[in-house]
Amino acid sequence: MLAKTGLLILTQPISYVKTLIPKVIAEASVVVSETLYVCLQPALQSQHVTHSSLLQPLTLTQEVESCLASFYRSVSGVCHTLDVKVLLAHICSNTAQYSVTPYSLQKPVSLLLSDSLIVKDLWQKNPVHLTGALKSAFSNLDSNLDFHFVKSSGDGQASENFSETGSSSEPVVIYPNVVLGGTFDRLHDGHKLLLSQSSLLCGKKLTIGITDGEVNKKKLLWELMQPYPLREQQVVSFVSEIKPTITLEPVQIFDPFGPTITDPDLQCLVVSQETSAGGEAVNRERLKVGFPCLKMVAIDLVDDACRSADEEEKISSSSLRKRALGTLLHPIPSRPNLPPSPYIVGVVGGIASGKTRLCSVLGSLGAKIIDCDLLGHRAYVKGTDAHRQIVEEFGEIVVGEDGEINRQKLGPIVFSDKSRLSKLNSIVWPAICSLAEKEIKQTTSGVIVLEAAVLLEAGWDSMVHEVWTTFVTREEAVKRIMTRNGLSQEAAEKRIDSQLSNIDRIQKCNVAICTQWEVQVTDKQIKKAWALLQTRIKSLAQNKL
Ligand SMILES: CC(=O)SCCNC(=O)CCNC(=O)[C@H](O)C(C)(C)COP(=O)(O)OP(=O)(O)OC[C@H]1O[C@@H](n2cnc3c(N)ncnc32)[C@H](O)[C@@H]1OP(=O)(O)O
């Protein structure tokens, strides 16, 4: 029994559940493959369960907060692929005022999981009746709902010593207006904990600042960051599922402060340990304009159990972006004009971004490389039509003593004037294209790599199945061009500016390889990209794409 989505109702005392979370997630991940909604219902343990009492309120205590944190901390170590969402709308400071608000679950739930013998018994006696009752509390339950009894939490016998006592059972203060901020790129368990904790503390309106623009460009591999609308949609969709009872206000922010220094009605700011200094700066700014200080709540960071030696200890979007290098960033377009074999990969990249390294490693892995730069040399040798047109357009000044086009003379002319560059392109690209097509026709199987720096600008993407790009930061490219080509900084920047920007190129490419670091790091990305490519080619052959 493997369900895509499960709803787990845990009925043991919270202090006991907390000790079992890794085991419970491990058990759930055997029967649920994608999404696991978790609903904490300790009240079901002690009282007689009827269908109308299936969603009971739970008082928000420190114990509950820490249990919530344990869920998100445990997931990455146990099963990082499982999307866990702990439901929070029934957790409140005053349970007497609670009225049932059903959860609108976005994924259809096909498996109910519980540690309760009572729920198990209700299921065995009349599953249709129980499903009907659950539907008043949770939308989107599959009509073929199945049941799994969670053994790892032991159904109460071992939990007798775990009644909620002491200071951790004190209720936690809830604030009407809570605010938090972040980049929220590739929503991970650290984000989910921050958003969940903020939602728990929020009684009415949750303001979520989501960074965009220049402030994001300071981040590692910012070019791979998800676009703002997607990041906002992921945040809103997560919070509205776990706590549908609060109003959400996502705000696009272009500095670290956002609405915290313009909205006097905010009361509580939730930060991660890393950003607590930023929280103090917020309060200094609020005092300057006469706003009351925000109560600051700092959340511990979530460790990344999947990290490699060179990655940060905490789960971070930067590590996730680094892991995205070499993987498929954008789906492969359909190319009915191309036969499935040979499979053609276009390689593009800004000047000095490491295309040559990428192609030489791909060559060593078995790809046939067609270097369009070399074809370009052949396209305008003396006697060709392109040679004649270039001389007509640019004059004898670009012709060397041997009668060939002198690239060192032609380069500075075209790279400092876009209209002249496009004139050259209009002469040379058709000639290179027909030479490339001839080379492609000579191969009938395997992988062909068409290395063409400006393939996208030339509109040659229809000639290839997918496009890969290399990239480095602008500063690194300038440094490399100055060293490699002996050009001044100004000339180097002109060459960079005559091409697409990294971000434009990455958005149009299927795979990105960053050659910023040591060669071993580049090679690792290329080998990963090659292995994933083989899988895609296999699926294409089996008509699965
Ligand atoms: C569609 C394609 O990608 S075909 C392959 C690219 N070739 C062309 O577009 C043909 C036109 N270009 C040329 O003839 C030559 O590049 C010249 C004459 C302009 C300059 O020659 P050179 O001084 O020898 O420089 P070189 O050819 O090494 O190019 C330097 C950089 O300019 C870039 N470049 C080349 N052609 C172009 C172009 N048409 N537009 C913008 N940038 C270009 C490349 O990124 C290259 O970087 P790289 O060496 O890291 O790959």
Given 266, 299, 332, the domain boundary residue is: 299
Q: What are phi and psi of 23, to 5 degrees?
A: -65, -45
CA-to-CA dists, residue 395 to 31, 84, 392, 433, angstroms: 73, 67, 6, 24
Nearest-CA residue for atom 20 of ligand 1: 411
146 and 211 share a domain? no
Instruction: Assess contact for 11 and 45: CB atoms under 8 A.
Output: yes
Question: What would the pLDDT profile of 291-332 be if each residue is shown by its tens digit?
Answer: 999 999 999 877 777 777 777 777 788 999 999 999 999 999
pLDDT category at 159 given cuts 50, 70, 90 is low
| pLDDT surpasses 90 at 434 | yes
- We report the CATH number of the domain holding residue 203 as 3.40.50.620
| Structural domain contains residue 305 | no
The rounded Å distance from CA 454 to ligand 1 centre is 8
Question: What would the pLDDT profile of 120-151 be if each residue is shown by its tens digit?
Answer: 998 999 999 889 889 989 999 998 999 999 98
26 and 56 share a domain? yes
Q: What is the pLDDT of residue 437?
A: 96
- We report the CATH number of the domain holding residue 375 as 3.40.50.300
pLDDT category at 38 given cuts 50, 70, 90 is very high
The rounded Å distance from CA 373 to ligand 1 centre is 7
| Structural domain contains residue 170 | no
pLDDT category at 155 given cuts 50, 70, 90 is low
| Structural domain contains residue 169 | no
Q: How many domains does the chain contain in total?
A: 3
Question: What would the pLDDT profile of 203-243 be if each residue is shown by its tens digit?
Answer: 999 999 999 999 999 999 999 999 999 999 999 999 999 99
| pLDDT surpasses 80 at 256 | yes
Distance CA 211, CA 204 (A): 23
| Structural domain contains residue 162 | no
360 and 463 share a domain? yes
Domain hosting residue 214, numbered range: 175-299
What is the ipTM metric for this complex?
0.95
404 and 528 share a domain? yes
Given 153, 183, 208, the domain boundary residue is: 153
Given 119, 153, 187, the domain boundary residue is: 153
Q: Which atom of ligand 1 is nearest to the CA of 348?
A: 3
Q: What is the pLDDT of residue 212?
A: 97
Instruction: Give the pairing type, strands 511-514 and 447-451.
Output: unpaired
The listed range with the strongest mean pLDDT (170-174, 310-314, 352-356, 497-501) is 352-356
The rounded Å distance from CA 229 to ligand 1 centre is 35
State the average pLDDT over residues 446-456: 97
77 and 198 share a domain? no
The rounded Å distance from CA 420 to ligand 1 centre is 13
- We report the CATH number of the domain holding residue 142 as 3.40.50
Q: What is the pLDDT of residue 214?
A: 95
| pLDDT surpasses 70 at 164 | no
61 and 183 share a domain? no
141 and 182 share a domain? no
| Structural domain contains residue 450 | yes
345 and 278 share a domain? no
Q: What is the pLDDT of residue 276?
A: 80
To the nearest whole number, what is the mean pLDDT of the chain?
91
Residue among 348, 351, 472 whose CB has most ligand 1 atoms within 8 A, to mutate: 351
404 and 519 share a domain? yes
Residue among 381, 407, 426 whose CB has most ligand 1 atoms within 8 A, to mutate: 407
108 and 199 share a domain? no
Q: CB count, 10 Å around CB of 135?
A: 15
> What is the distance, to the nearest Å, from the Cα of residue 123 to the centroid of all Cα atoms in its chain?
38
The rounded Å distance from CA 463 to ligand 1 centre is 19
| Structural domain contains residue 57 | yes
Q: What are 438's two structure tokens?
A: 């001839």
| Structural domain contains residue 470 | yes
294 and 182 share a domain? yes
| pLDDT surpasses 90 at 79 | no
| Structural domain contains residue 306 | no
Residue among 357, 373, 387, 467 whose CB has most ligand 1 atoms within 8 A, to mutate: 373
pLDDT category at 154 given cuts 50, 70, 90 is low
Nearest-CA residue for atom 34 of ligand 1: 453
405 and 357 share a domain? yes
Q: What is the pLDDT of residue 101?
A: 84
Nearest-CA residue for atom 16 of ligand 1: 411
Q: Which residues approach ligand 1 with their CB closer than 6 A?
A: 351-352, 355, 372-373, 376, 407-408, 410-411, 414, 421, 424-425, 428-429, 432, 452-455, 458, 460, 495, 498-499
Question: What would the pLDDT profile of 330-386 be if each residue is shown by its tens digit?
Answer: 999 999 999 999 999 999 999 999 999 999 999 999 999 999 999 999 999 999 999
